[in-house]
Amino acid sequence: MKDAVETPSDRTLARIPEVGSAPIGSDAERHLSELWESAPGWRGWLSTVDHKEIGLRYLVTSFIFLLIGGGEALIMRVQLAGPDRHLLTPEQYNQLFTMHGITMIFLYALPVLSGFSNYLWPLMLGSRDMAFPRLNALSYWLFLFAGLFLYASFPLGEGPNSGWFNYVPLAGLEYNTGPNIDVYALGMVLLGISTTVGAVNFIVTLFRMRAPGMSIDKVPILVWGTLTASVANIFAVPSVSLAFFLLWLDRRNGTHFFDPLNDGKPMLWQHLFWMFGHPWVYVIVLPAMGIVSDALPTFCRRPLVGYAAVALSTMATMLLGFGVWIHHMFATGLPALAISFFGATSLAISIPSAVAVFAWIATIWLGRPVFQTPFLFFAGFVLLFVMGGLSGVMTAAVPLDLQLNDTYFVVAHLHYVLLGINVFPVVGGIYYWFPKFCGRMMNETLGKWSFWVLFIGFNLGFFPMHVAGLLGMPRRIYTYAPNMGWNSVNLVTSIGSFVFAAGILIFLSNIAFSLKRGALAPQNPWDAPTLEWAVPAPPPPYNFAVIPFIASRHPLWEDRLDTAEGRSNLQEGYLLMEGRETLGTTALDAVPDVILKMPDDTYAPFFLALFGSLGFAGLLLDWNRFTFLMTAAAGLSLAAWMWPRQKLVQRLPGVNGVTEAGRG
């Protein structure tokens, strides 16, 4: 899928972009606003391809799913607060447990990080948009419709009920005859398409859309984290999509990929699922670590210690992450040699993670910390990261894992990783970038209250699960007898869960209050060093009136040192005024070599996602004619998307693009 193509006539129209400035309120800025603004009202809402709008939608939608998943968790914790409780039937509990996992792992954890990256990447990289704006819009609409699709059967009492891991043969037709597992299978394939196109967009954006001079060793760590996760998704998502598609064929077309009675292999499901499942853990962790690596130094008043080591450890973590999936399968009877190899890899993966931890601690230790709300969340994250990581290393030891397998100890580890290492950076990141998003400051008092309530509630809720697991409490049970010795730890866990929920409510109340009554934010309220703070808050539709020249990892801090007579060096750069344009640069050194004509707003991504999702619904319901019609409608939407335009790309003349362009 492409948003821009080069035609032979374009090569003859190459031009050198003008170098200059565009002061606030100038005619140039007004002209750019007219070019880049979306239409008002519902038309603009459906057709916009602005990365900032799409990023905010990801954030809001994923937080709605977080609230839904959290509500499901609270109902389960009421059920488990004491022995022999029957608020839920076993089938209701299975559906609630499954949908809670699906929601938190697939509909919240990665999409919320995609929201940050969608909004911040072009601002951090000095670009006016993502590489493929329409593809960006498509990824959001597919995510939204996939989420609605996955919940389609749940209100009817036919939700997925085999756990978020969906093991066969329990997920097979012989044990689940309703539409529940079919909804899960097709919904995950649809969500996989969204994740894959988003990953392609991030990868191309990094390598082709950076500001001149921002070489690959100057990009923020958040960019490294999301890039690494995106590359991983290209390889991991096809594995789980294939697994769900094969399961759907088993259930609907009589194949036997996972049926042991017909030479199928149930273990094949686990291999395909965990080839995706364990890299996915790092997909939803590494961008969150990037948030901390970029924002924490702002409050320590010094650059991140060991930038290069942290960037390399980010890539090493994901690389090793593809070699540890079998540690989810130690109890399945695999050969001892395979178990030994994957156990060793599971221990080794802690090394690059430890590099990042020591870099954060050294940054705090060598800096002058300012104890504002975002800093509290980032510092709290470091502690939770260590606790979650240690329990992960424990389960990498095969003899101990065999004892802890399928106990609540594993549930505790999972929540420290998915909630502690994801939610705390996310909430801290929202406090940090809220002035950029909305132009207003969040309330500091409410912010500190939300941190302490969340931090206490989290540890009160999830640390006792370690104890319950050591006492032998198995996972996935809907009730228990009173004489098992688990009563007290489960009551404490349930209380902690409600305390954690209260912290989320304080946080959301702070957002609602600050949107209306928060103090107006200056352009750079935290005195941050990265490029997104060089533009007004909230940013204009075009991001940068001029594409700046970058010579540092901390352009705002070092620009201040070089400023002469009060004038910022970042106010001057490439002026691109002939339509929606931005600058393309070389992959490693960020030398300008192309002027990219960016696509206009269009309804095509919305309708392509809508008709494609309805086509999946037709597959679910066996409406063959309907499926054919929706496929044809999706094809027409794609044709409208790809309809060619003239002069989409203009190459800069000369071999040394930045030198010759600079002569303009």
Mean pLDDT over residues 240-267, rounded? 92
Q: What is the pLDDT of residues 615-640, one digit of tens each?
A: 999 999 999 999 999 999 999 999 99
Is the pLDDT at 59 greater than 90, yes or no?
yes
Label residues 47-69 b or e (16+ Cβ within 10 Å = b): bbbbbbbbbbbbbebbbebbebb
The single-letter DSSP state of residue 567 is: B
Q: Tell me, what's the pLDDT at 646?
A: 57
Intra-chain end-to-end CA distance of the chain, in Å: 34
Rounded to the nearest integer, the mean pLDDT of the chain is 89
Q: Tell me, what's the pLDDT at 178?
A: 86
Q: What is the pLDDT of residues 158-200, one digit of tens each?
A: 889 999 999 999 999 988 888 999 999 999 999 999 999 999 9
Q: What is the pLDDT of residues 21-41, one digit of tens each?
A: 777 777 778 888 888 998 988
Q: Minimal CA–CA distance to 609: which of 78, 88, 190? A: 190
Label residues 286-298 b or e (16+ Cβ within 10 Å = b): bbbbbbbbbbbbb
Higher pLDDT, 613 or 20: 613
Q: What is the pLDDT of residues 325-337, one digit of tens each?
A: 888 898 888 888 8
Q: Tell me, what's the pLDDT at 513?
A: 95
- With helix as H, strand as E and coil as C, how does 26-55 read? CHHHHHHHHHHCCCCHHHHHHHCCCHHHHH
Is the pLDDT at 378 greater than 80, yes or no?
yes
Is the pLDDT at 357 greater than 80, yes or no?
yes
Is the pLDDT at 563 greater than 60, yes or no?
no
The pTM for the full model equals 0.93
| Contact (CB, 8 A) for 164 and 101 | yes
- Band of residue 661 on the pLDDT scale cut at 50, 70, 90: very low
Q: What is the pLDDT of residues 589-603, one digit of tens each?
A: 999 988 888 999 999
Higher pLDDT, 158 or 458: 458
Q: What is the pLDDT of residues 495-506, one digit of tens each?
A: 999 999 999 999
Q: Tell me, what's the pLDDT at 15?
A: 67
Cβ contacts of residue 508 below 8 Å, gap of 6+? none
